[in-house]
Structure 1
Amino acid sequence: MMIFRAITILAATTLAIPAALAQGIAVPGASDHILRSDGAILRGLDRVAGTTIDFDAQQGQETHIGHLVASVRECRYPADNPASEAYAWIDIHDTRADQMLFSGWMIASSPALNALDHARYDLWVLRCKTS
């Protein structure tokens, strides 16, 4: 019983840290200051053509890669490590199928953690715009 309780507490605290960071709550051992940006730098890959493109996605504006439309709602990054620990809320819409393909947080340091699932295109966050 005690082992089960310890595992439950450990799992709950491990899962609570990313949620707390997303809400701007200070977490011991994590960066003290989470900053917001007005956009993100995204990278898109066309698997058929074998080409990549980096683009500047302003918050609230639509960015196109092929027949996909990406929109960054928010980008956050720790003040002490803006390059690799950025995370952005992105909506990706397919204009051909007229459906939402992705809506959620993407993390620059772990792009496969919450990735776009599309047959032709990959899209991920490189970093938040800091200037």
Structure 2
Amino acid sequence: MHLKKNTGLGKTKFNLFIFLFLIIPFFAYSEQNQVGSYTNIKILDKISSKNILVKLKNGEAKKYKDLLIKSMKCKNSEFDDNPEITAYIQVSDLTNKDKDDVFVFNGWMFSSSPSITPFDHPVYDIWLVSCY
């Protein structure tokens, strides 16, 4: 009777080792890179027709003329062929003295489809540019 060596088990353990220690950390690292610390938005003044790029650090509020803008979180999409940038933004109008109306805009913005959740203001228009 001729005995064969069981080499298949060693290969399986080695392949499992490669998967666990090389591939899984790569996916975890790439997912962490999707969430950004800064959000770039453009603000259009409809009266003067001038626009400005505003850099917001997530979690901090920034005042621009009559608006108080705060980006809570931003995220880049996982797909490179059709990039999508999303950000959770809160906007308050400082000229509004009515305390019942807290935010002019409070929700998610999408870079590819700004009309899904539009920012509705008579003087300003805001749209999402990037997240990093």
TM-score of the two chains, using structure 1 as the length reference? 0.67
1:67 partnered with 2:70: no
List, as ranges, runs of 4+ consecutive aligned residues in structure 1 with deviation greater than 4 Å.
none
Evaluate the alpha carbon distance shift between residue 121 and residue 82 of structure 1 in structure 2; reply closer, same or farther with a 3 A threshold. farther
Counterpart AA for 1:113: I
What's 1:118 paired with? 121
Query: Gaps (5+ residues) in structure 2?
Result: 1-29
TM-score of the two chains, using structure 2 as the length reference? 0.67
Distance between the aligned counterparts of 2:79 and 2:43, measured in 1? 27
For the Cα contact (< 8 Å) 1:82–1:127, is it kept in 2?
Answer: no
Query: Gaps (5+ residues) in structure 1?
Result: 1-31
1:102 partnered with 2:127: no
From the two aligned structures, give the one with the greater strand fraction. 1
What's 2:13 paired with? none
How many aligned residue pairs are there? 98
For the Cα contact (< 8 Å) 1:83–1:127, is it kept in 2?
Answer: no
Distance between the aligned counterparts of 1:102 and 1:124, measured in 2? 12
Q: Which has the larger radius of gyration?
A: 2
Secondary structure of the residue that 2:47 maps to in structure 1?
coil
